[in-house]
Structure 1
């Protein structure tokens, strides 16, 4: 069976699907060993545990919440940090079960549009008052109905070949997504991260699409939002001991349904056990999902956003016994439960942000998953 078929047929609740851009799929089934962490030092704790958890040649899959405390309600079973060494690992083609199957009949329920505009206005007022420079405001919609997580994963893997496609099954729930944003990769001594901030919709025609991409590349508001993220990533990696290379060029990255501004940041550091997790902790949450100044933005989100992000916008990925690994920001994602999906998407609010435009941006991001399930 293919990895996705193994994932679909596994009788237990604990299972992981991972497909990095350009790579084969990897599925982890069951739990040989696992550790859960929470609190402000959860990444450091996870890094220390990883050094003891992993034997030569083994990989632990990990997922972390946006916040440092466990989720509740629909997010029960998803702690603020979890590493698992599977009982069984299967590698192979990303194609498999459900790629042409029925995802189920879903009804989208969204009562958040007016409240989201209000939240963006509050965020803009806080920025105008000098309390923040940027904050990411998210909203949640539901898609109600019957759905199979393996079908969703197959469709995401087929549609988003340049993204990391992931699925973390816990009990009767599965958190799935197709993220364009690598938080940190450590391959040998090479560190890579990517600033992904600044968004524009795709055009209806090739000419419109090119115009949208050009406007994104030259828009002062989008450029300012993007610079916050680039500067943050470079500063945090330098403080973590990474010898940075010169910053790469900022380019427009085009995905199905959306354009983004994107800048690669690279450097070198000597690997050691648990290091990829410590680097992930140094970078999370970046201004692309939180804001700046980071502490004030996180406090604003907790007090004003009005939702439990769970693992949305947290790091998901894997680490090996050497400390090398890959963690992506859990975006373009959905929590699949027995009765449908919960989807969250956010937009970066800076000086001059327009509530209606930011609402449209979240619609575009929500469509990344909705388009493959409805």
Structure 2
């Protein structure tokens, strides 16, 4: 049974600032609800609020860490401040070991609250300074959180009681944040400074060389597919708030996930990804195969034309088949039932279209934790390759930069459920620098020049927001 105590100050929705005041008043009675409760018990103060924009509200607040999450279907949104509890690991170990650590830690939680964060693409990468604040994994249970779910918005404050002194300290930090909360943003957001320089790693020549090396591995028979990535670095005239990118990113015709993780002021990882890694509710698992890309912008294609082009492309259908077959094969030992869609569908975004197919499965009882599921599904062939281990080794060999959280699992986890997306179409912002990440799947028949154009298209929205020259 969940050891979670929920306190609701008032039944009727309140304006956000008044809701904060109501929770602050209730926090003064924390000794009464926290006394005698063991460590790990979660006390949650939850007050319904009148509708506001969670993203714009978050942009006004001056507390860190900050998190933002909006599901692809837009049925769950969370904007969080501070940390009631943190689950993290900064060591260098194989992914399977890191996933096991995460799963075991979450299994010890007595409550089922959602922790938001991310996991490195490959935890064996050499440590790089730019990813110092984004370790092998880091997940935060927000101290103060505005959520929107099932048509209702709530302001929450969470305290994990410890000793009397620890509980008082945690309550004081929560009250400090609550007392400083501001209402919804009414003024126009500040502008993003001018871009002073832009560079790519690898550059075009290096990209073509890496693609040719990957294609050689196909001829040798050691791999069948490799997803190679590129980092585009933008230097700005001055530091800026990374929330500006989140606020200005357009919604595509079919929504993407929106993920934002800012562990300290001015340092944030953002992802606007169309790709779900998986959704888990107990033993019920929902995942999907997404691979194969058609650019609509350069060719000025309509959605219908893009769909026809993708469904007629032998190369893209083959790339998608790799992903689909591997997901189904990897799930077999861990699942009692697997249902993969036979028909390939097309997911339409602003500038691109992708092939995808949904998959539902029932996990065996011994495989129902996130540690096991992550080991099975990450990385998918869409961001790694086929076979998985050899592709991961080649990526480390070919790419001249660290991926960090790029293409890693991002989202939320809890003891009994989780939803993780694949952290692509992403940016790492630090002070006056932004690194944009994008990749392309290489198979037999891939053209390095066309793949270069594809990785450029995948960061098109981010480039447009910042004003950088393509």
SS of the equivalent of 1:58 reads: coil
Match of 2:198 among 88, 101, 109: 109
SS of the equivalent of 2:121 reads: coil
Distance 1:69 1:35, change over 3 A: farther
Q: Is 1:268 the equivalent of 2:359?
A: no
Match of 1:87 among 143, 148, 153: 143
| Structure 2 match to 1:306 | 400
Q: Distance in 2 between matches of 1:256 and 1:304?
A: 30
| Structure 1 match to 2:308 | 214
Distance 1:103 1:194, change over 3 A: farther
Q: Distance in 1 between matches of 2:466 and 2:262?
A: 18
1:2-21 aligned at under 5 Å gives the runs 2-21=53-72
Instruction: Compare relative contact order (CA 8 Å, sep 6+) and give the higher one, 1 or 2.
Output: 1
Q: Is 1:169 the equivalent of 2:258?
A: no
| Structure 2 match to 1:47 | 103
Q: Is the 8 A contact 1:66 1:312 kept in 2?
A: yes
Shift of the alpha carbon at 1:97? Answer: 4.7
Q: Is the 8 A contact 1:62 1:83 kept in 2?
A: yes
Q: Deviations over 1:246-269 (max 9, x none)?
A: 434211111000011111111123
Shift of the alpha carbon at 1:208? Answer: 5.2
| Structure 1 match to 2:218 | 127
Distance 1:107 1:228, change over 3 A: farther
Q: Distance in 2 between matches of 1:368 and 1:17?
A: 19
| Structure 1 match to 2:88 | 36
Worse-superposed segment, 215-224 or 55-64: 55-64
Distance 1:296 1:223, change over 3 A: same
Tell me the number of residue pairs that the alignment of Structure 1 and Structure 2 aligns. Answer: 370
| Structure 1 match to 2:427 | 334
Distance 1:242 1:143, change over 3 A: farther
1:202-351 aligned at under 5 Å gives the runs 202-203=296-297, 209-269=303-363, 275-322=369-416, 324-351=417-444
Q: Distance in 1 between matches of 2:140 and 2:297?
A: 42
Q: Distance in 1 between matches of 2:286 and 2:368?
A: 16
Q: Is the 8 A contact 1:50 1:274 kept in 2?
A: no
Worse-superposed segment, 217-226 or 34-43: 34-43
Shift of the alpha carbon at 1:320? Answer: 2.1
Distance 1:77 1:191, change over 3 A: same
Distance 1:158 1:261, change over 3 A: closer
Q: CA RMSD in A?
A: 2.4
Q: Is the 8 A contact 1:99 1:151 kept in 2?
A: no
Worse-superposed segment, 220-229 or 198-207: 198-207
Normalised to the residue count of structure 2, the TM-score between the two structures is 0.73
Shift of the alpha carbon at 1:287? Answer: 0.7
Shift of the alpha carbon at 1:166? Answer: 0.6
Worse-superposed segment, 182-191 or 100-109: 100-109
SS of the equivalent of 1:252 reads: strand
Q: Distance in 2 between matches of 1:282 and 1:155?
A: 35
Q: Is the 8 A contact 2:115 2:142 kept in 1?
A: yes
Q: Distance in 2 between matches of 1:133 and 1:153?
A: 36
Q: Is 1:156 the equivalent of 2:249?
A: yes
Q: Is the 8 A contact 1:190 1:268 kept in 2?
A: yes
Q: Distance in 2 between matches of 1:107 and 1:262?
A: 38
Structure index of larger Rg:
2
| Structure 1 match to 2:130 | 74
Q: Which stretches in structure 2 are left out of the alignment for 5+ residues?
A: 1-15, 17-52, 154-183
Q: Is 1:136 the equivalent of 2:230?
A: no
